[in-house]
């Protein structure tokens, strides 16, 4: 055998070996097989730090087996045929297919358009008229005419905000507070049809009525400016109680005192946020918020954004501002200018691919596909439609005689589309069409029908063309079925099965026990001096907690706060170990000073079901799931190729 023949034979053997590895089954449930390569892909996707030792692989295989059993059971029970789930899955497939059903060259122009909009921010106000989920022509006409009349009033000089706030004005609930003002925004921060209209309306002008999935709108562009970039900021918030007026005044005093301490350097930002901010999502991380500004998904209230961007330097803090949530002090952490097109291109491309704007490129894409697949039209067979469609079509009342023929109108490879297919499309797609002559209407609908047919045909080819797409569709399919069957067999069942829940609780009552607790009132004091004052005041029986707070906080709202509860001493870190019943001597813990009045030491006792229902439901769900998994293992045949499983590490 010469060298060339040997090399060729070796290459063939290597290819066959690779194919064998790819097709090698690692787990089989009934007749469903998962290949080694498929399993490895899933394993890597679900593990940021994958390990290939026996223990780690066994643990993941156990989880995967349970997952696979649930999905197989869902399919066996016909979950994938439930109309609601079929619609949901088809919706996901449509969304996942978008990046594959576009004209790449046209898509490039959309990316550039989006970048140009990221660099220029628009401020607009809008008035919304909502419509029913499936509006009739009458609904559509009423919404349109209402906005036409409102536009006429605006053009005569009536105030936009006043109309938006009025009883028959905007259906956007936020209009009651903001008069329809949406503040500044840029690309990707509004739905695309709204963004498109805003960027194509001049400052000071009012748009014609236009439609989005929310209803009909008109908008007025009130300003535009160069984008300011993105902002990383932190805040300290004092909530405004929605009850007594004195609490409102107290919140204002408190935020002003905190601001004074910051300005005078009496405490650090981090200390004051942790001590006094009422935003639980940020007070443990120095008040840090998600990045907001040009092109980001996060939008803050206009006054919040304006205040943040008005700060000149990183580290600067604002004076207190008021929003619907409370009083805020804002700290500028980092301002980032708009990046170059080259830096943002990949990120914008991903957003465009997922966005509805990508559909703009589909018309040219469809034309290219028609050429690629040698599509053929048979327009001569449209005559029946020219002769039978009439004005009733525009109101959804078109009810012609049955088709006397079923001739071919359009063909793609191995697929024919007939008159009955187009007829069905016409019946379903009559809404929102302008009134034109019959021939123009039929031709327009024929073109739209062709487009839908070609795109669906191409969508059906995607799993064979793009393994990544196929894997994603499979992932969504399994995820939807898993969620639905888990809801039925475990999650919702545990909530609805009240008798089973009570029986489970009764059988496992010793798991749900209150620890030894302390029924106490805790006075958290700013310093030792205040703690001593509180201690003395508590010696007088007539002094209530409210009176003590009023006296101590007369000079500062930061002096004292009070907590009343039944505390677990093990998990409550500010409680001392040697507390006694009654008033306890002041002590310091983690730079805070405490006076604790112990009302009673509570012994360990069993909880009532209503005191721990959430935990019992969670445990009962786990109990139901375990029993269900055992049942599934006995119903379905499972085969695991452990040799292939343990060899995964050889390919890392």
Q: Both tokens of residue 508?
A: 């496992």
CATH of 120-226, one of 1.10.287.1080, 3.10.50.40, 1.20.1250.20, 3.30.450.20: 3.10.50.40
Mean predicted confidence (pLDDT) in 528-557: 91
Find, among 62, 69, 1, the residue nearest to 636 by Cα. 69
Please give the pLDDT value at position 104.
75
Query: Which residue is listed with tokens 């053009």?
Result: 155
**Res. 7 pLDDT band, cuts 50 70 90:** very low
The span from the CA of 506 to the CA of 500, in Å, is 10
Q: What is the percent of the chain with per-residue pLDDT over 90, rounded to a whole number?
A: 70
Find, among 60, 61, 79, the residue nearest to 70 by Cα. 79
| Mean of the per-residue pLDDT values of the chain | 89
Contact 123, 223 (CB under 8 A): yes
The span from the CA of 340 to the CA of 473, in Å, is 34
Mean predicted confidence (pLDDT) in 131-157: 87
Nearest-5° Cα angle at 245, 239 to 247: 40
Please give the pLDDT value at position 431.
81
**Res. 100 pLDDT band, cuts 50 70 90:** confident
Question: What CATH code is assigned to 230-337?
Answer: 3.10.50.40
Mean predicted confidence (pLDDT) in 626-633: 96
The span from the CA of 597 to the CA of 585, in Å, is 9
Beta-strand pair 25-29/592-602: unpaired
The span from the CA of 73 to the CA of 240, in Å, is 52
For 49, phi then psi, to 5°, come to -125, 75
Q: What is the percent of the chain with per-residue pLDDT over 70, rounded to a whole number?
A: 95
**Res. 245 pLDDT band, cuts 50 70 90:** low
Say yes or no to pLDDT of 652 above 70.
Answer: no
Please give the pLDDT value at position 137.
73
For 135, phi then psi, to 5°, come to -70, 145
CB atoms inside a 10 Å sphere around CB 588: 12
The span from the CA of 585 to the CA of 57, in Å, is 56
Please give the pLDDT value at position 651.
53
> 606-643 as b/e, with b when 16 or more CB fall inside 10 Å?
ebeeeebeeebbebbbebbbeebeeebeeebeeebbee
Find, among 236, 247, 242, 377, the residue nearest to 320 by Cα. 236
The span from the CA of 41 to the CA of 420, in Å, is 44
Mean predicted confidence (pLDDT) in 236-241: 88
Strand ranges, E, within 315-450: 321-323, 326-336, 376-377, 408-412, 415-418
Please give the pLDDT value at position 242.
67
Largest pairwise CA distance in the chain: 109
Q: Where do the domains of the chain lie?
A: 3-76, 120-226, 230-337, 373-465, 513-606
Q: In what order do the strands lie in the sheet with 230-239?
A: 292-293, 230-239, 326-336, 321-323
SS3 label, residue 370 = helix
Q: Please state, in angstroms and as integers, the Cα–Cα distance from residue 583 to each residue in 127, 185, 521, 529, 533, following that order.
A: 60, 57, 10, 17, 13
Please give the pLDDT value at position 21.
44
Q: Both tokens of residue 165?
A: 């706030």
SS3 label, residue 570 = coil
Please give the pLDDT value at position 247.
59
The span from the CA of 28 to the CA of 52, in Å, is 21
Mean predicted confidence (pLDDT) in 440-457: 94
**Res. 241 pLDDT band, cuts 50 70 90:** confident
The span from the CA of 495 to the CA of 616, in Å, is 10
pLDDT digits (tens, 9 = 90+) for 147-199: 999 999 999 999 999 999 998 899 999 898 889 999 899 999 899 999 999 99
What ranges in 240-322 are assigned the alpha helix state H?
245-263, 269-276, 302-310
CATH topology of 120-226 equal to that of 513-606?
Answer: yes
The span from the CA of 538 to the CA of 528, in Å, is 15
SS3 label, residue 419 = helix
Say yes or no to pLDDT of 274 above 80.
Answer: yes
Say yes or no to pLDDT of 5 above 90.
Answer: no
Please give the pLDDT value at position 401.
75
Question: What CATH code is assigned to 513-606?
Answer: 3.10.50
The span from the CA of 158 to the CA of 170, in Å, is 15
Contact 240, 326 (CB under 8 A): yes
SS3 label, residue 185 = strand
Please give the pLDDT value at position 319.
96
Q: Which 8-state DSSP code applies to residue 207?
A: P
Residue 364: Cβ-neighbour burial (10 angstroms; 0-12, 13-18, 19+): middle
pLDDT digits (tens, 9 = 90+) for 461-514: 999 999 999 999 999 999 999 999 999 999 999 999 999 999 999 999 999 999
Candidate ranges 1-15, 20-34, 377-391, 431-445; pick with highest mean pLDDT: 377-391
Residue 242: Cβ-neighbour burial (10 angstroms; 0-12, 13-18, 19+): exposed
Q: Is the dihedral of CA 161, 166, 170, 176 positive or negative?
A: positive
pLDDT digits (tens, 9 = 90+) for 575-625: 998 999 999 999 998 778 999 999 999 999 999 999 999 999 999 999 999
**Res. 8 pLDDT band, cuts 50 70 90:** very low
């Amino acid at each position: 055998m010469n060298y060339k023949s040997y090399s060729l034979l070796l290459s063939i053997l290597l290819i066959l070996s690779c194919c064998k590895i790819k097709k090698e089954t690692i787990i089989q449930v009934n007749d469903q097989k998962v290949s080694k390569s498929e399993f490895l892909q899933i394993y890597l996707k679900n593990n940021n730090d994958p390990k290939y030792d026996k223990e780690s692989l066994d643990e993941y295989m156990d989880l995967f087996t349970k997952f696979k059993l649930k999905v197989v059971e869902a399919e066996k029970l016909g979950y994938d045929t439930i109309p609601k789930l079929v619609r949901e899955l088809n919706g996901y497939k449509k969304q996942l297919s978008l990046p594959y059903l576009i004209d790449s060259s046209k898509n490039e122009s959309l990316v550039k358009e989006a970048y140009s909009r990221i660099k220029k921010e628009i401020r607009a106000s809008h008035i919304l008229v909502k419509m029913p989920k499936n509006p009739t022509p009458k609904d559509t006409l009423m919404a349109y005419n209402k906005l036409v009349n409102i536009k006429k009033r605006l053009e005569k000089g009536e105030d936009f905000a006043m109309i938006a706030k009025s009883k028959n004005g905007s259906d956007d609930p936020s209009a009651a507070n903001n008069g329809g003002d949406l503040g500044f925004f840029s690309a990707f921060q509004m739905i695309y049809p709204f963004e498109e209209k805003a960027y194509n309306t001049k400052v000071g002008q009012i748009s014609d009525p236009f439609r989005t999935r929310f209803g009909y709108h008109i908008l007025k562009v009130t300003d535009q400016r160069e984008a300011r970039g993105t902002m990383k900021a932190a805040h300290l918030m004092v909530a405004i109680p929605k009850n007594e007026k004195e609490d409102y005044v107290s919140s204002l005093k408190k935020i002003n005192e905190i601001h004074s301490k910051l300005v005078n350097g009496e405490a650090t930002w981090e200390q004051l946020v942790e001590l006094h901010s009422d935003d639980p999502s940020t007070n443990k991380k120095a008040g840090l918020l998600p990045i907001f500004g040009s092109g980001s998904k996060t939008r803050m209230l206009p006054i919040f954004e304006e205040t943040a961007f008005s700060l000149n330097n990183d580290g600067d803090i604002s004076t207190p501002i008021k929003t619907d949530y409370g009083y805020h002090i804002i700290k500028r952490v980092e301002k980032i200018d708009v990046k170059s097109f080259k830096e943002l291109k990949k990120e914008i491309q991903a957003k465009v691919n997922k966005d509805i704007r990508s559909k703009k490129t589909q018309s040219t894409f469809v034309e290219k596909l028609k050429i690629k697949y040698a599509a053929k039209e048979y327009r001569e067979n449209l005559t029946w439609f020219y002769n039978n469609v009439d004005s009733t079509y525009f109101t959804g009342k078109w009810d012609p005689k049955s088709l006397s023929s079923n001739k071919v109108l359009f063909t793609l490879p191995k697929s024919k589309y007939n008159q009955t297919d187009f007829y069905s499309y016409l019946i379903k797609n009559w809404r929102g069409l302008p009134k034109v002559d019959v021939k123009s209407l039929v031709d327009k609908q024929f073109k739209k029908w062709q487009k839908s047919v070609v795109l669906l045909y191409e969508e059906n080819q995607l799993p064979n063309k793009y393994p990544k797409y196929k894997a994603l569709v499979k992932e969504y399919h399994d995820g939807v079925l898993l969620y639905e069957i888990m809801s039925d067999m475990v999650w919702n069942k545990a909530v609805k099965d009240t008798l089973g829940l009570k029986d489970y609780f009764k059988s496992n009552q010793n798991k749900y026990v209150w620890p030894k607790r302390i029924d106490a009132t805790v006075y958290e004091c700013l310093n030792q001096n205040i703690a001593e004052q509180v201690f003395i005041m508590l010696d007088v029986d007539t002094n209530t907690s409210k009176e003590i707070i009023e006296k101590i906080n007369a000079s500062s709202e930061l002096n004292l706060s009070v907590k009343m509860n039944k505390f677990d001493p093990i998990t409550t870190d500010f409680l001392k170990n040697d507390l006694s019943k009654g008033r306890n001597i002041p002590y310091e813990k983690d730079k805070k000073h405490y006076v604790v009045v112990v009302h009673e030491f509570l012994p360990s006792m069993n909880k009532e079901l209503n005191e721990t229902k959430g935990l019992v439901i969670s445990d009962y769900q786990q109990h139901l799931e375990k029993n269900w998994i055992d049942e599934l293992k006995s119903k379905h045949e499972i085969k695991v190729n452990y040799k292939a499983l343990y060899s995964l590490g050889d390919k890392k």
